[in-house]
Structure 1
Amino acid sequence: MPAVSEIQRRSLHDLPFTALAREMDGLSPVHTKALWRALYHETATDLTQRAEFLPPLRRWLDGAASHLSIDHPELAADTASSDGLTRKFLLRLVDAQTIETVLMRFDGRFTACVSTQAGCAMGCVFCATGQMGFTRHLRPGEIVAQVLHAQRTLRARDEPGLRNLVLMGMGEPLHNYDAVMTALEIISDTRGINIGPSRITISTVGVVPGILRLAEEQRPYHLAVSLHGATEEDRSALVPASRRWPLAELIAACRTYGAKTGRRIFFEWTLIAGQNDSPAQAAKLGALLTGLDAHVNLIPLNPTNGFAGTASATAAATEFQRTLRAAGLPSTVRQRRGIDVAAGCGQLRVEKSRL
């Protein structure tokens, strides 16, 4: 039979522990645990020279080599910010698609921001990924591989491992729901990477069926909803997905989510000068979220070549936040990170494609 191409081979990184054990049916659980530890605790990129593997596991791996692989994307670019707090990686997948992963340092702890799709179908006008369009979903292993790359990077610098994970890179996580949930099961497994669910945040532009499914399945991760406008007209101008899932439907889904899970929802609001940063718009936002256990993350706009808007001035952000506080809404102005390394999702891929 002809050899199976690298693209066609299944990845061990696609398999949660129980699925891996089924794949290794007939072998002792000792071997499953040894392989899992190599993949996720040791972040191995080559399984052929592992001295700790016993002969039955080595024979199994030899036999599986024709149809199973591991995800180890090629590093296409690695850029560090001038302040030393942000690093952005452009990773090339086996089909030559490129995705972005960002590693950020906050007071001695590290957060990784990972991608869930190559491109994005949601089309948010101020987002570099939205401007490039959708190519394909990532497999679970391709999501997990970004976390493993960040872990290896930290280990090489003798830094502590990742503490937090945010799914806020390229793509819409809830548009790739099943693969994302499988990846998070692997990432949060205490036998391996062990990033707890309470330290994982899923960001969505407002995919209502996904939000309702998160609620129904009682998924233990934090939910962040990109809002950016407090009326249908204002939001639709920035977020085309609002035409498919109107604002009223989105807020109703958020209320259902809150009622079923008892969890706080984080609402993301990109501050764009003269467009959505006035006290009047802050007051509308406060009224819209009345009764929800909500926290608003205010995010100064990351400039992109495809959008003419600019970030709000500090004074406007402060006044916006003051108005939210008066409405009883807690909020945080997110630190701007990695502007000099194009850290806004999709920007590095666009920049490198022009070279």
Structure 2
Amino acid sequence: MINITLVAGARPNFMKIAPIVHAVQARQKAGQQIFYRLVHTGQHYDKKMSGDFFEQLNIPEPDANLGGGGGTQAEQTAAIMVAFEKELMTNRPDLVIVVGDVTSTLACSIAAKKLVIEVAHVEGGIRSGDLSMPEEINRMVTDSITDHFFTTSEIANNNLRKLGVPESSIHFVGNTMIDTLMANMERFQKPQGEIFDKLQAGQYFVMTMHRPANVDQEEKLKEMIDAIMEGTQGLPVIFPVHPRTAKNLQHLGISDPSLFMTEPLSYLEFNYLVKNAKGVITDSGGITEEASVMNVPCITLRENTERAETIELGTNELVGTNPKNLKPYLDKLMRGDWKKYKGIPYWDGRSAGRIVDKIIEIYG
């Protein structure tokens, strides 16, 4: 009998966890003695940021919600560690599975290891090389104490090898977020509202921005949006606004007849928009993966990326955070001269099954 604890805390985690839950359930139906406990750390506590995902992705309600949201990064990390330690002492598993690179990933791996419980990191080994990003700290610390790494790319495998991780601990399985994408593509939903009714497929852009380098300096944020609006040549730009960005936009009074700022959208609604867009402009890592697999041109407003495979084999281009860099890329995109998706190994919708089969092999 194998008992695992699955940890999710922030919006991107749910897309990565859902297929693992479904793969475990499938093995249970086949008679395998593998059981899971789903723990929501509460890092994202807004319904649009987390609650909708359980329903839309067909994930059962969590067995525990640690209520670790709010506060500074240190306060959040501490709150999650304290609560997760109590959870593990009451319900001790054979293995804790953490995903991605959010605060919950770091906090829960530390708590587990201090109780001498093995940790598996889904999406282990990815690196941006940018220590100003909290996510990079989370990745580095988590990977330094992880027992098993479920990796998304050969680039991640090589990063781990350079750290001296033995081959027996590196399991190249692919990308569970793409499992979720492929499983739900036929269920994507057009968002409700007059704005969305007027959109024509391939004749609008989707934009997301939330990183401090882009949104914390008001003048730079205004310059960036101005450059985007100029480069998209009057096509509608749909901008679901992250709560962090909304505060900064309020002061700027940004207005353009082609810019449509909306509330955060659900998973099925947002990916409907991405799938049918002319292009995506983002500073998110996960969106570059989804856009690539859907063969939608993607411009990343960052100086670095932990997902280099989306540039080498996907539809993503790294443009940087200087608004002046945007024009040639948007010109190229508007001409229809963008690169096509070449296919990324194991991003085939079956990654979670590989993960669960490997866990059964190791712990069964």
Compute the TM-score of the two structures, normalised by the length of structure 2. 0.30
Query: Which of the two has greater strand per residue?
Result: 1
* Bigger radius of gyration: 1
